[in-house]
């Protein structure tokens, strides 16, 4: 583990009216995932802490390449080579009365215990449904395999449950679709089929990586509604990754903003929208249209682009793009994530005095 301070993020049940118990289902502590390439080491996730409580949703936002998806994949130990988790722990807490807490990273990525957690207790909806299904098997075969691995249901019960889930996510003719191959599904249908597959095992934690990107707004609203109902029924914790701040405002209890593998701000969703503190958070929010934006008005954009992780700027990684840059400070030292009030944490020298 590096000496750099880890970033702390908590989806707090105290801020969510429908929240469950205080005990975290999943605690990620000091997670570091690096990619060992011929050109050097890329620190894709660089010391992130996450606590997920039952019945809460944490939204993770940030531009592409900031480490959101790699954080999610690290939790399930499905980071592809040359990536490797090099430090941290990921503690999963089973239901009260079941076996004791488990450090997921102590399990082999292909062990039976890990397979039981992955797709059963902790499910994931992937960003790219087109490449996430096997083209060689029917959808029915694939969802049946998930149910066979994670439930004790009979073959007929598994079939009926899969059909029920296809219907719940709005796929017409679900019985017929069970016998079809994924190439027969449209992009939106594949996305919904993936949601059905992730939810059918009744997970306690759902990681949703851009789950509604390929969907039209009506279907998106239906899917978000479905996820929220599932969450209420099962006290499920959700880690929701998206670029869409409109979706975040709808579904999240807490928001985490990531930039170049680090958390730069975290706090309750209303604080993020009412009083964003980090200059990057403010820039993200000013670059989305509001109800008062006229149709021809140019939206402000964040200057520059996210640097390549191998060319990480000195000091604060956001300093080449920051409107509040302070020469001699921001380009020299790296700010730590600190509490600025009871609920918000931010890593920026503007708040150092607090």
Size of the site for ligand SF4 (CB under 6 A): 14
Neighbours of 187 (CB within 10 A): 13
> Least separation, in Å, of the C-beta of 43 and ligand SF4?
18
C-alpha distances (whole Å) from 23 to each of 17, 97, 112 are: 16, 14, 25
Neighbours of 66 (CB within 10 A): 25
Stretch that binds ligand SF4, among 84-92, 214-222, 226-234, 322-330 (CB under 6 A): 322-330
C-alpha distances (whole Å) from 298 to each of 6, 170, 289, 294 are: 38, 37, 9, 9
Q: Is 348 in the site for ligand SF4 (CB under 6 A)?
A: yes
Sign of CA dihedral 334, 337, 341, 344: positive
> Least separation, in Å, of the C-beta of 141 and ligand SF4?
50
Residue closer to ligand SF4 by CB (options 306, 350) is: 350
Q: Is 324 in the site for ligand SF4 (CB under 6 A)?
A: yes
Residue closer to ligand SF4 by CB (options 165, 280) is: 280
Residue closer to ligand SF4 by CB (options 38, 353) is: 353
Strands of 171-236, DSSP E: 205-209
Q: Is 316 in the site for ligand SF4 (CB under 6 A)?
A: yes
- Give me the residues paired with residue 33 across strands: 45, 85
Residue closer to ligand SF4 by CB (options 27, 347) is: 347
- CA dist 105 and 319 (Å) reads 34
Task: Please list every residue from 267 through 286 that binds ligand SF4, using CB under 6 A.
Answer: 278-279
CA 144-147-149 angle, to 5 degrees, is: 110
Q: Is 330 in the site for ligand SF4 (CB under 6 A)?
A: yes
Q: Is 259 in the site for ligand SF4 (CB under 6 A)?
A: no
Containing H/E element for 103? strand 102-103
Rule CB under 6 A: choose which of 325, 336, 338, 339 binds ligand SF4.
325
Rule CB under 6 A: choose which of 322, 340, 344, 345 binds ligand SF4.
322
Q: Is 349 in the site for ligand SF4 (CB under 6 A)?
A: yes
> Least separation, in Å, of the C-beta of 6 and ligand SF4?
18
Residue closer to ligand SF4 by CB (options 165, 318) is: 318
Residue closer to ligand SF4 by CB (options 35, 349) is: 349
CA 214-218-223 angle, to 5 degrees, is: 70
Burial (0-12, 13-18, 19+ Cβ within 10 Å), 89? middle
> Contact 49/30 with Cβ under 8 angstroms?
yes
- CA dist 210 and 61 (Å) reads 10
Task: Quote the tokens at residue 269.
Answer: 């969703």
Residue closer to ligand SF4 by CB (options 209, 265) is: 265
> Contact 48/263 with Cβ under 8 angstroms?
yes
Q: Is 62 in the site for ligand SF4 (CB under 6 A)?
A: no
Q: Is 318 in the site for ligand SF4 (CB under 6 A)?
A: yes
Rule CB under 6 A: choose which of 149, 230, 306, 350 binds ligand SF4.
350
Stretch that binds ligand SF4, among 25-33, 184-192, 300-308, 319-327 (CB under 6 A): 319-327
> Is the bond into 82 cis (omega within 30 degrees of 0)?
yes
| Residue numbers at the binding site for ligand SF4 (CB under 6 A) | 278-279, 316, 318-319, 322, 324-326, 330, 335, 348-350
């Amino acid at each position: 583990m590096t000496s750099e301070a880890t970033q702390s993020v908590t989806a707090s049940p105290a801020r969510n009216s429908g929240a469950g118990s205080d005990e975290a289902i999943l605690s990620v502590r000091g997670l570091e995932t690096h990619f060992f390439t011929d050109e050097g080491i890329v620190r894709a996730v660089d010391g992130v802490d996450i606590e997920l409580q039952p019945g809460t949703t944490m939204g993770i936002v940030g531009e592409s390449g900031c480490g959101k998806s790699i954080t999610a994949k690290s939790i399930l130990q499905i980071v592809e080579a040359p990536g490797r988790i090099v430090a941290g722990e990921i503690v999963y807490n089973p239901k009260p009365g079941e076996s004791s807490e488990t450090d997921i990273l102590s399990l082999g990525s292909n062990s039976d215990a890990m397979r039981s957690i992955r797709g059963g207790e902790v499910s994931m909806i992937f960003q790219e449904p087109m490449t996430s299904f096997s083209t060689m098997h029917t959808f029915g075969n694939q969802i049946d395999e998930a149910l066979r691995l994670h439930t004790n249901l009979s073959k007929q019960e598994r079939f009926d449950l899969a059909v029920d889930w296809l219907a719940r996510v709005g796929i017409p003719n679900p019985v017929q679709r069970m016998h079809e191959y994924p190439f027969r599904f449209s992009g939106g249908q594949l996305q919904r089929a993936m949601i059905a597959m992730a939810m059918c095992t009744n997970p306690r934690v759902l990681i949703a990586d851009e789950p509604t990107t390929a969907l039209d707004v009506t279907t998106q609203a239906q899917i978000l509604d479905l996820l929220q109902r599932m969450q209420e029924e099962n006290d499920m914790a959700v880690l929701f990754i998206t670029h869409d701040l409109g979706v975040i405002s709808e579904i999240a209890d807490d928001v985490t903003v990531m930039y170049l593998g680090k958390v730069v701000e975290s706090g309750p969703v209303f604080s993020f929208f009412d009083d964003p503190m980090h200059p990057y958070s403010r820039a993200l929010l000013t670059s989305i249209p509001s109800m008062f934006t006229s149709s021809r008005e140019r939206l402000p954009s964040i200057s520059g682009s996210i640097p390549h992780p191998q060319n990480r700027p000195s000091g604060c990684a956001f300093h080449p793009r920051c409107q509040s840059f302070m020469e001699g400070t921001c380009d020299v030292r790296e700010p730590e994530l600190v509490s600025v009030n009871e609920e918000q944490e931010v890593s920026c020298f503007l708040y150092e005095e607090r």
